[in-house]
Structure 1
Amino acid sequence: MRRLFREWLADCGGTQELVDSPLITVLYELVFAYEGGRAAGDDVVPNIEAGTIMRALPHMVFGYTGAFMWKMQSSMGDTIFAPMYLVLKKRGVTFKFFHKVTKLHVQADELVSIDISPQVNLNVAEYDPFRWVKVKGYQHPLPAWPSEPRYKQIVEGDKLKGYNLESFYTTWVDTGKPVQLKAGDDFHYAVLGISLGSFPYICDELIQKNSTWQRMVKHVKTVQTQAAQFWMQPSFDGLGFTVPGAVVGAFTPSQLDTWADMTYLLEDEGWPPELVKALAYFTGPMQGPEQAPPPSDTQFPEKSEKQNEAVVEKLLTKQIKILWPNYQGTAQIVSSYLRYNIDPSERYVMSVKNSSKHRLKAGDSGFKNLMLAGDWTDCAINMGCVEAATISGMQASQKISGFPKKIVLYQNRII
């Protein structure tokens, strides 16, 4: 944990050719291991602690089931979170959408209250987040989590269009009556599943009162990320890339230097086959501040959008022919979707050198009625991924209720 991965490899006899190889570079890119979001080609030393990656690698190489990696059949909202939501709802869990946590209050070693700001008012008894979509091969429609609210269920729906309620920097003024949940009256235990990037703003009391929180916020770093998706008129064969279903990294010193062939999704998306023949997803770190700016910086999203567009333009005009030698310009792009993850809770949690020892365990928050959950906690993996978040959630459950009795990977480590 105290060494950089490449330093450790070299000290163990790794040649410079191995240390700088694309195979090793890909490991850094998988976890966005560039502080400040700088790209692999910039003057920056990528940062990931040796112990964390060497604990994860044996599980990845020797512990997978069926395939080394699996591709999802839709977005994470549809394939990961929608099934979880439906199962929990069926079990009686109450969900409150459009409720923004603004502050956690503590006294001594106890969480005493949580401030919440309802962003809108509903004109229905219970908000339904899904659009149900017919998908080929399935008898019944499947739940799809849309990228915008379902405005007809919201009193202020017409006014809300054009605002992004998920943005930390939104200029929307919350219209609901503020809520304060109190320990003993409204909850016995609270589970903090919001990501670490938000803590300077919502957990400042915890940070002030507890030195372990101070160290965690200081030493566990986060980074902005970005993505681009392109629906292409030519096939990848036509573009000059002939390996079907590829996932490729380290192909160029770009901030979008990891990409995946996602063409298999086109059939479910309903594109006419003569119009769109290929689908590409790109992702990578995004250069920016080490901590998200305050919500008063309402111009930050616009600046980030322009920055993301500039990175995409550079990729398409100067770098893409390394992958697609027959690419002829943007006229071959039927549609595109660009994304930049800049909000505090969206920032990717890194695994920089000497950071794992400062992570808190799910049941060791320092406040007796507060449990922790997320890939930022000290779990079996200590890397930003769904598996780490899931394990930490199970650890929080285990601490509260004793269930589950066994957590795979955490209690059965290869290393």
Structure 2
Amino acid sequence: MATAFELTRPEHRGLYDVTVYQMGFRLGGKGASGRGPSGRIEEHGLHLWMGFYENAFRLMRSCYGELRRNPRTCPIATFEDAFAPAPVVGVTDRLPSGAWEPWVAQFPPGKGMPGDPLEERNPFSVAGYLEKALALVPELLRSANAGRAAPTMPGSEGARRVGASPGDVLGMIERILRYGQLATTAAVFEAVDLLRTALQSLFALSPRDSVEGTLLRLLDAIGAVVRRELDALVGGDMGLRRVWEVVELILCIVRGSLRYGLVFHPDGFDAINEYEWSDWLRRNGASERSLDSGFVRALYDLAFAYEDGDVRRPALAAGVALRGALRMFFTYRGSLFFRMQAGMGDIVFAPMYEVLKQRGAHFEFFHRLRNVKLSPPEAGPAHVRALEFDVQAEIVGGGEYTPLVDFKGLPCWPAKADHRQLVDGERLEREGWAFESHWETRRAGEKTLRVGADFDFVVLGVSVGAIPHVAPELVERAPSWRAMVQNVKSVATQAFQVWLRADAQELGWNRPGPVNVSGFVEPFDTWADMTHLERVECFEEPVRSIAYFCSVLPDVAPESPDLPAIARAYVRDNVVRFLDWDVGWLWPAAVRRPGEFRWDLLVDPEEARAGAPQRTGAARFDSQFWTANVNPSDRYVLSLPGTIKYRISPLDMTFDNLTIAGDWTRSGLDTGCVESAVMSGLLAAHAISHFPPLEEIIGYDHP
């Protein structure tokens, strides 16, 4: 969709005639959402936007600016209406007693807003990140030593203030190391100050290896103090322990960046993508306590980074993890996170659809791609000569399908197709045709598009898991494509949403909110309070709170037409067990006793219409929403160690008239999120039109 948006920009003066072919009845892939009973929003999972999503936010600001909705008739008319800051973030840790305890923080606003013009052309550098990370350490130490003054260090006072020469700074560091002046916690303040100054001077110092060796020795000395503090806090003050864990992780990142030469390496963070994230941290001094902290586990949860969906096998490429963590915490603008003010389909894909229609783009829904057909090997440079589709349903009157519906003045995607627009729609609905299922093979017809007659260029926007099914000729012809589908893996995900009669405080949540929490107990490690969506839904009975949960899903059965039903039943069992036994750690008032969730808290859309309770006990959960995302294109693409090099860039021209787009491609961020998807789409547009310029894709030219 980002590619279509770029190619239809007015600047191109109609040069590109764009048609989007879409399986089923709605756009968005993993980001698609729909409106179900009582106009409730039903998502594939939890979608939050991070404050460093520069390209994605810039695209949406452009989209809403061009859409020009009337604020008097549409509740979400502008970009400012569509996204709201979500600065309250939490992680959880398991106490020695076995209880789970959340730790919640409110992150301060970042300067400006994502999508604003950058003050510098490319403000990202490894040295800059390390400087920002080290600047955080004194603040953390002050919070850990509240009420205790930090004594100054002899011979090093004010090094940064008076602009000491690089040689002077190194001399101060050598004196600290020689005389063991890091014997106290407070002394770390001045040592970190010197370290920051030395890092700023590193480019000017020679020989570089000698300087880095001195800095590594200082980091080792600081790390020894941190480990001593952590050892003293085993079983003690959890708040203090978390602070020291963060300090240790920051020091390990700085140490590893120096030890592996990332400041000067031409590949930047990609130089360590062969390593697994936790293993790389461990190699650089991280303790097992810090590696098992909620902060580290939350990063894995955020990236669904569990091989084969097995939470006992966390796996994340170190370079991707480091880049993502540094971008997340040190380059966010506006807010660490943003919440969409309706479903992702309503906020992102409905406006994009409307703008693209206004620009003259065409949409062919209910087209399932069956085969990408290549030119024969003897016909010169390889290119796509045909696209073969199953037509899943035909439109009454032969026109275009109208996909959007209105809820409270907001254009939205429904959760089900509008069978009234389909030929034999009543029969298709009665027979249960599943238009969005990979295993639904029934069709109303076939269609073949041919190069030269029907298209010139193809943007393949399916996910990597679908490529062997829809483009086997590409995999067979090109070794790079074969290596990609063999090595770039994906994982199924599970999610559920509940609508409740009690607000978060009444459920027992006694910390700041609305919050999103990760690092919690499996099978649902992430929770977000999404109560703000109630105002755009249409429940007849008051809804006091809305909660979204998600996590990875193990492969519960082999691929077959029965898999969706098997996986859905598996997820339902997970949810019931989770609500009975685990959610009480977050919402103690939501359970009568361990193992007994208060099922009467759930709002059943049918009850208000029927005027009486329709279900009791755990059966009430059947009125809520849950999903098992097992379709090949719905699975989350992993960033496993050793696999990033196999991702193909949209700029790759192995096939003359084909490019690819999706968060699974080589985009510069290389992790599964909307920012990666947009960056990939911009690269695909550049491959076709040489626009936008590569330097305008923020973060593409990144360390």
> Do both proteins adopt the same fold according to a TM-score greater than 0.5, normalized to the shorter chain?
yes
Q: Which amino acid in structure 2 is aligned with residue 278 of structure 1? A: S
Residue in 1 that maps onto 2:609: none
> Does 1:165 find its partner at 2:438?
no
> Does 1:317 find its partner at 2:605?
no
In the TM superposition, what is the alpha-carbon distance from 1:299 to its structure 2 partner? Answer: 1.3
Residue in 2 that maps onto 1:112: 385
Q: 1 CA distance for matches of 2:480 and 2:701?
A: 27
In the TM superposition, what is the alpha-carbon distance from 1:289 to its structure 2 partner? Answer: 6.5
Change over 3 Å in CA distance of 1:345–1:247 after alignment to 2: same
- Retained in 2: the 8 A contact 1:246–1:260? yes
In the TM superposition, what is the alpha-carbon distance from 1:278 to its structure 2 partner? Answer: 0.8
Q: 1 CA distance for matches of 2:518 and 2:283?
A: 25
Residue number among 8, 22, 28 corresponding to 2:300 in the alignment: 28
Residue number among 355, 359, 369 corresponding to 2:647 in the alignment: 359
Residue in 1 that maps onto 2:400: 126
Q: Which amino acid in structure 1 is aligned with residue 403 of structure 2? A: P
Q: Which amino acid in structure 2 is aligned with residue 317 of structure 1? A: D
Residue in 2 that maps onto 1:18: 290
In the TM superposition, what is the alpha-carbon distance from 1:411 to its structure 2 partner? Answer: 4.0
Residue in 2 that maps onto 1:380: 668
In the TM superposition, what is the alpha-carbon distance from 1:208 to its structure 2 partner? Answer: 0.9
- Retained in 1: the 8 A contact 2:667–2:700? no
Residue in 2 that maps onto 1:185: 453
Q: 2 CA distance for matches of 1:317 and 1:36?
A: 26
In the TM superposition, what is the alpha-carbon distance from 1:170 to its structure 2 partner? Answer: 2.4
Residue in 2 that maps onto 1:284: 551
In the TM superposition, what is the alpha-carbon distance from 1:38 to its structure 2 partner? Answer: 2.3
In the TM superposition, what is the alpha-carbon distance from 1:412 to its structure 2 partner? Answer: 4.9
Q: 2 CA distance for matches of 1:179 and 1:241?
A: 54
Residue in 1 that maps onto 2:151: none
SS in 2 for 1:101: strand
- Retained in 1: the 8 A contact 2:389–2:447? yes
Residue number among 562, 566, 577 corresponding to 1:299 in the alignment: 562
Q: 2 CA distance for matches of 1:74 and 1:350?
A: 27
Q: Which amino acid in structure 1 is aligned with residue 390 of structure 2? A: S
Residue in 2 that maps onto 1:137: none
- Retained in 2: the 8 A contact 1:380–1:409? no
Residue number among 244, 247, 251 corresponding to 2:516 in the alignment: 247
Residue number among 302, 306, 324 corresponding to 1:56 in the alignment: 324
Change over 3 Å in CA distance of 1:251–1:19 after alignment to 2: same
Q: Which runs of 5+ in 1 are unaligned?
A: 135-140
Change over 3 Å in CA distance of 1:289–1:327 after alignment to 2: closer
In the TM superposition, what is the alpha-carbon distance from 1:133 to its structure 2 partner? Answer: 2.0
Spell out the pairing of 1:268-279 with structure 2 (5 A cutoff): 268-271=536-539, 275-279=542-546
Residue in 1 that maps onto 2:105: none
Q: 2 CA distance for matches of 1:29 and 1:53?
A: 12
> Does 1:308 find its partner at 2:571?
yes
Residue in 2 that maps onto 1:403: 691
In the TM superposition, what is the alpha-carbon distance from 1:195 to its structure 2 partner? Answer: 0.6
Question: Deviating runs (4+, > 6 A) in structure 1?
Answer: none
In the TM superposition, what is the alpha-carbon distance from 1:34 to its structure 2 partner? Answer: 0.9
- Retained in 1: the 8 A contact 2:301–2:518? yes
> Does 1:347 find its partner at 2:635?
yes
In the TM superposition, what is the alpha-carbon distance from 1:308 to its structure 2 partner? Answer: 0.8
Report how many residues are paired: 396
SS in 2 for 1:305: helix
Residue in 2 that maps onto 1:138: none
SS in 2 for 1:380: coil
Residue in 1 that maps onto 2:152: none
In the TM superposition, what is the alpha-carbon distance from 1:255 to its structure 2 partner? Answer: 2.1
SS in 1 for 2:462: coil
Residue number among 2, 9, 12 corresponding to 2:281 in the alignment: 9
SS in 1 for 2:603: strand
Q: 2 CA distance for matches of 1:202 and 1:84?
A: 26
In the TM superposition, what is the alpha-carbon distance from 1:184 to its structure 2 partner? Answer: 1.8
Q: Which amino acid in structure 2 is aligned with residue 247 of structure 1? A: N
Q: Which runs of 5+ in 2 are unaligned?
A: 1-272, 592-597, 605-623
SS in 2 for 1:70: strand
Q: 1 CA distance for matches of 2:363 and 2:535?
A: 33
Spell out the pairing of 1:127-142 with structure 2 (5 A cutoff): 127-134=401-408, 141-142=409-410
- Retained in 2: the 8 A contact 1:394–1:407? no
SS in 2 for 1:345: coil
Q: 2 CA distance for matches of 1:365 and 1:374?
A: 16
In the TM superposition, what is the alpha-carbon distance from 1:371 to its structure 2 partner? Answer: 0.6
Change over 3 Å in CA distance of 1:119–1:24 after alignment to 2: same
Q: 1 CA distance for matches of 2:556 and 2:485?
A: 15
SS in 1 for 2:484: helix
Residue in 1 that maps onto 2:355: 87
Residue number among 677, 680, 689 corresponding to 1:392 in the alignment: 680
- Retained in 1: the 8 A contact 2:682–2:692? yes
In the TM superposition, what is the alpha-carbon distance from 1:407 to its structure 2 partner? Answer: 3.1
In the TM superposition, what is the alpha-carbon distance from 1:275 to its structure 2 partner? Answer: 3.4
SS in 1 for 2:523: coil
Residue in 1 that maps onto 2:94: none
- Retained in 1: the 8 A contact 2:682–2:697? no
